[in-house]
Structure 1
Amino acid sequence: MIQSREYKSSLKYFVQNLLKRNKGSRQKRKSNLPLRFLNEINDGFQERSHFAVKRKYPYYAPNECGHTNGQKYFRHDKRSTPSHGYWLGFILLIAFTAGLFPLPIQAQDSDHTLKVAVAANLLLPMQEVKKLYEEKYSGELILIPGSSGKLTAQIINGAPYDIFLAADMKYPQQVFNEGRAVSRPEALTRGRLVFWSKTRTEAPLEEWLQKNSDIKSIAIAQPELAPYGQRAKDWLSEKGIYEKVLPRVIFGESIGQVNQYIRSGTVEAAFTAISAMQAEVMKDIGYWQPLTVNSGEASQLDHGFVLLENAVAPELAINQFVEFVKSPIAAQVFQKFGYETY
C-alpha cells in the first residue's frame, strides 16, 4: 500500500507516542490529554479514501487501472484524503506550537527526582522539609548527607547533584568559584555550636573538661571537613585546652557521626550543632548548653545553598524546591530545630 506524506508526518507519530504513554492505569499516565480524544485524532490518520486524484503531468506507461495501449492518461493514485481527525490534530499542533496550550509531555516535570546534597547538621530539619515538600509536589526528594567539605569535593569532581546545602557559606562559594554552580550562593539559615555531656557540667566548662577524669572521650567532627568541627576546635583553642584534651578527642567524619556517638553512648562529651539539641530523639539524652566563641560572640555559622551545574532534575522542579525551602513553612521547621532564618 502506498503511504501518503500525511501518514508519514511527524504529527502522526506524535499522537501515536502519546497513545503509547497513555496505556495503563490513570495514575501512571504521563499525558494529560483524554485518551478518547487521542484515539479520535489517530483514527484520522488511518482513514484512507480511494477516489482518484489526477496528477499534474501526463503518464504514458501502463497505469494501475490496467491501460496498456500507450495512449496519454493521467495516473490515478489512491491518495489519502485528510479526515476530520487529521485536521483536528493539525489544529492542535498549531496551537501547541503557538504556546496556546502546554504540550502534554510537560506533565512529566511534576514527576521528578531531585537530589540535594545536604550538610549533616541540617539533615534532621531537612527530613521534615522533605516530607512536607513531597506532600505538596509529586516528585521525590533525595537527601545526600555528609560533611560540607566532603560534599564540596564530590561536586567539584562531577557528582550529579541538583542543589548543595552547606553548613558554611565558604563551601558553596568554593563550588561557584570552581565553575560548578549556575547561581551565586544564597544564605538560608544560621546555626550555633552546642556542647553535650552525659553528666551535668560545672562552670567554667573548660576547667571541668580538663580536670574531670571521667571524661575519657570527646567527640568532634573533622575540622578540615565539617564547619562545626572547626568551630569546636576554635572554642577549645580559645580556652587554651585544645592540645591538652586532644588525646581524648574522637573525630567524626561529620556532625551526623558525632550525633551517632551521642545516641549510642559511645562518648562522654561532644561538640555538635544546635539541631541535635532540639531533636525529639536526642534532646532528652544527657545535658546540653550553647557555646560562645571570640569574647562572647555567639559561635554561629551561616548555612546556604547553591544550584549546581551538573543538575539533572527539570528546571521547574529545582525552582519549586528553592521556592519551598525559602517559604514560611520550611522556615518554621528550621526554627523548630533552633536555627535562625533570613
Structure 2
Amino acid sequence: MNMTMIRPARRRMLPCVLFLLALLCTSPLRADVVQVAVAANFTAPMQKIAAEFERDTGHRASLSIGSTGKFFAQVANGAPFDVFLAADVETPARLEQDSYAVSGSRFTYAFGRLALWSAKKDKVDSQGEVLKKGEFRHLALPNPKFSPYGAAAIGIMQQLGVEATLQAKFVLAENVSQVYQFAASGNAEVAFIALSQIWKDGKLATKGSAWVIPPEMHAALRQDAVLLNHGRNNPAASALLGYMKGDKARSIIKSYGYDL
C-alpha cells in the first residue's frame, strides 16, 4: 500500500475529528426532559430555576402548575410526572408510603410564607386589621381541602376570631394562582396568597397593599420534593433534585420570600 496516499487522507480527517471533540466538550452528552408537578405557590421561583437548570445542565424541566391535593390524585391515577414539588410534607410522604414515589428521595426544599393582599393601594394595613373591620365584599383564599396555604389562612382567621363573620364572603379557589387572579382582577378586594406571588428581593414587587403574615401565626408551611416512580430512571429528574439543593437554586428560592 502506498503510504504517501494515506497521510494526506489523515490530514484531511484531522479537522473533522477536532471539531467533534470540541462539540463533545461543550455540549451535554445527553439532554433529557423532566416532567415536574409544581405546587402553584412555587410557580415564579420554579420558572426561574428551570431556566437556570437548562442553561447549566442542558436538561429541560417541563412544568405543570396546580394544587398539591389534585396532583396527588393525578399521580395515583398514573399521570407521567417524574418529580413533585409539593406545598406540604404530608402529600409526598403519602406518595412514598403508597409506593408511588422512590423511597428515601424526599427532602424539604422551602418553607412558605403567607400574605394578605389587595390590588388596591391602601386597602390592606400592615397588621391585618382589615380582617377585623370586614369592610369588603369578597375574600379570596385557596380551598383548604386541597391547599395547605388555604388551611393556614383559615387558622389565622380563627386566631383573630373573624372566621365565622367572614365566612359568607369567602371565594374559594383551586390554588393560589387562581386566588391571585381573583384579587388582581378586582373580583375579590382582599386575598390570602403566597408571599412569593408578590415578593421579590425583600420587598413588595407588585402594586397594591399587603400584610406579610408572621410565620409564627400559622403552622410551618414546609414544602417537600420527591422523586416519583416514573422518573426513577430519568437522569434529568435526578439532576433537577440535586440542582434544587445547590446554592443557585436556594438563592432564587430565598429571593421570593421563602425560608430555607
Is this a same-fold pair by TM over 0.5? yes
Aligned-pair distance for 1:328? 0.1
| Bigger proportion of residues as helix | 2
Match of 1:115 among 35, 59, 71: 35
Unmatched segments (≥5 aa) in structure 1: 1-32, 38-103
Inter-partner Cα distance in structure 2 for 1:191 and 1:172: 16
Inter-partner Cα distance in structure 1 for 2:124 and 2:195: 18
Partner of 1:265: 186
Partner of 2:67: 147
Structure 1's 233 and 298: CA in aligned 2 closer, same or farther, altered over 3 A? closer
Match of 2:124 among 193, 201, 204: 201
The 5 A counterparts of 1:167-316 are: 167-184=87-104, 185-197=106-118, 198=120, 199-202=122-125, 205-206=128-129, 208-213=130-135, 215-279=136-200, 283-292=205-214, 296-297=216-217, 299-311=219-231, 314-316=233-235
Inter-partner Cα distance in structure 1 for 2:212 and 2:150: 15
- In the superposition, the TM-score normalised over structure 1's length comes to 0.63
Aligned-pair distance for 1:108? 8.9
Report how many residues are paired. Answer: 233
Unmatched segments (≥5 aa) in structure 2: 1-15
The 5 A counterparts of 1:45-56 are: none
SS at match of 1:237: helix
Inter-partner Cα distance in structure 1 for 2:79 and 2:200: 30
Note if contact 1:193-1:273 (Cα within 8 Å) is conserved in structure 2. yes
Inter-partner Cα distance in structure 1 for 2:209 and 2:146: 26
Q: What amino acid sits opposite 2:211 in the alignment?
A: Q
Note if contact 1:292-1:299 (Cα within 8 Å) is conserved in structure 2. no
* Structure with higher RCO (Cα < 8 A, 6+ apart): 2
The structure with the largest alpha-carbon Rg is 1
Structure 1's 248 and 134: CA in aligned 2 closer, same or farther, altered over 3 A? same
Inter-partner Cα distance in structure 2 for 1:134 and 1:108: 11
Inter-partner Cα distance in structure 2 for 1:109 and 1:171: 35
Q: What amino acid sits opposite 1:320 in the alignment?
A: A
2:51 is aligned with 1:131:
yes
Partner of 1:319: 238
Inter-partner Cα distance in structure 1 for 2:175 and 2:29: 34
Aligned-pair distance for 1:290? 1.8
Aligned-pair distance for 1:298? 5.4
Structure 1's 328 and 108: CA in aligned 2 closer, same or farther, altered over 3 A? closer
Q: CA RMSD in A?
A: 2.5
SS at match of 1:288: strand
Q: Percent identity?
A: 29
Aligned-pair distance for 1:142? 0.5
Structure 1's 112 and 298: CA in aligned 2 closer, same or farther, altered over 3 A? same
Aligned-pair distance for 1:334? 0.3
SS at match of 1:154: helix
Inter-partner Cα distance in structure 2 for 1:203 and 1:316: 46
Aligned-pair distance for 1:242? 1.1
Structure 1's 242 and 112: CA in aligned 2 closer, same or farther, altered over 3 A? same
Q: What amino acid sits opposite 1:180 in the alignment?
A: Y
SS at match of 2:80: coil
Aligned-pair distance for 1:143? 0.6
Q: What amino acid sits opposite 1:289 in the alignment?
A: W
Note if contact 1:200-1:287 (Cα within 8 Å) is conserved in structure 2. yes
Partner of 1:46: none
Aligned-pair distance for 1:309? 1.0
Inter-partner Cα distance in structure 2 for 1:302 and 1:128: 20
